[in-house]
Structure 1
Amino acid sequence: MSKRKGVSAEEKRTRMLQIFYEKKEFFQLKELEKIAPKEKGIIAQAVKDVVQSLVDDGLVDTDKIGTSVYFWAFPSKAKHTRKRKLDDLTTRIDESRKKLKKVQASLETAKDGREDTKERSEVLESISKLKLEEEKLVKEIQKYQDSDPEVLEQMQKQTQIAKDAINRWTDNIFAIKSWCKNKFFIEESALDKQFGIDPEMDYVN
């Protein structure tokens, strides 16, 4: 049996936000360290870093009351935070593209009737840096799109549809196995081996 693939950093952030959005409560870190592994498959040791990254990005609020530190997040605020961030990133991308266009124009001018020059090399280097900056900003936008409450809600619906489909097929397989056992008096283990069915197959909760 193949090893289960680890959960990516972005997926951990998405699942952690789901906890806040679904429960709409205030949590201490130790509470999240108990809830996250059970409900979202985030190991307890990773919870602190995941929550801090969401706090740093303004997607989760935090405050200290007495000696306790509480964390919370609501979809409405996240939506506004995400929109501000997306607007900012979009503006930066537009500026980057304008600079890139200007630099490319300079490059064309520098190429006319000239061999490789220091100026041309500097222009090429500027183009390379601007392209990297644009790629970075596009990835940053994608990160905030993944944190969109509407996207999370759609993902939850799709996940439930997938679970229902899996359970229907699981039910069908169990029914067929039961029919074969009763009709042909075949051991369940033999059926599993013959048709490549995992003996530990069960319904998805």
Structure 2
Amino acid sequence: MSKKGLSIEEKKIKMLELFHETGECFQLKELEKLAPKLKGIVVNSVKDVIQKLQDDGLIDHGKIGNSVFFWSFQSKSIQSRKRKLEEVTSIYDQQKKRLTLVEQNSSNKTEEKNKIKEVSSEIIELELEIDILKKKLIEHEENDPEKVDTMKDDIMKLKEAANRWTDNVFSIKTWCKKKFLMEEKVLDKQFGIPQDFDYVE
């Protein structure tokens, strides 16, 4: 049986490990030699992995003379995760304001249906993002515990925000059931609310 190749996410993690373990700057041709040997990343995917990490803000690059060098330091990765958490928190705040407007101006069943669908979808996506960020925190835990503690606090605040959203969705459901005399299962189906929709643990 042939050995399964690395996924793109696994390649990104291993490439970051190479930078963080060495603490050095590399040219692309150097990475194309080292990555296959040290991290099992096939040579023809090295350039693509580097580009994706740059897009994620986890790798920096600069030109010295005619040569382009790439580097990534542990502190930069942690700060990138922190910025991502801040972006997610900002999305929560924006959506919370929209949900408040729905509650204050709920005069149209179709409008409520669309808004609740949108809110439910946002919550599900953000829950997934929280899980991913938690995994990334574990990877960095041993290297910068002080900053990781700060990020853990951010995640806790994010979870609390998600649960406040969940409260709002349940409140709207209760209001709709009373106003339109709808059963909960029918309401969930029409509004696109998943059966396992619940608070974030």
TM-score by length of 2: 0.59
SS of 2:20's partner is helix
Instruction: Note the C-alpha offset of 1:106.
Output: 6.0
Q: 1:130 — aligned with what?
A: 119
Instruction: Note the C-alpha offset of 1:46.
Output: 1.8
Change (3 A) 1:17 1:64: same
Question: Paired residue for 1:151, among 121, 127, 139?
Answer: 139
Distance (Å, rounded) in 1 between the aligned partners of 2:47 and 2:115: 38
- 1:121 pairs with 2:120: no
Distance (Å, rounded) in 2 between the aligned partners of 1:125 and 1:55: 36
Aligned-CA RMSD value: 2.7
Instruction: Note the C-alpha offset of 1:50.
Output: 1.5
Name the % identity: 45
Instruction: Note the C-alpha offset of 1:24.
Output: 0.4
Q: 2:87 — aligned with what?
A: 88
Distance (Å, rounded) in 1 between the aligned partners of 2:15 and 2:26: 12
Amino acid at match of 2:79: H
Alignment of 1:44-63 (within 5 A): 44-63=43-62
Q: 1:26 — aligned with what?
A: 25
Q: Is there any run of 5+ residues in structure 1 with no aligned partner, and where?
A: 111-118, 155-205
Change (3 A) 1:10 1:80: same
Distance (Å, rounded) in 2 between the aligned partners of 1:60 and 1:16: 10
SS of 2:92's partner is helix
Instruction: Note the C-alpha offset of 1:61.
Output: 0.8
Amino acid at match of 2:120: K
Distance (Å, rounded) in 2 between the aligned partners of 1:45 and 1:141: 32
Q: Is there any run of 5+ residues in structure 2 with no aligned partner, and where?
A: 143-201
SS of 1:71's partner is strand
Instruction: Note the C-alpha offset of 1:97.
Output: 4.0
The answer to whether the 8 Å contact 2:78/2:140 transfers is: no
Q: How many matched pairs? A: 142
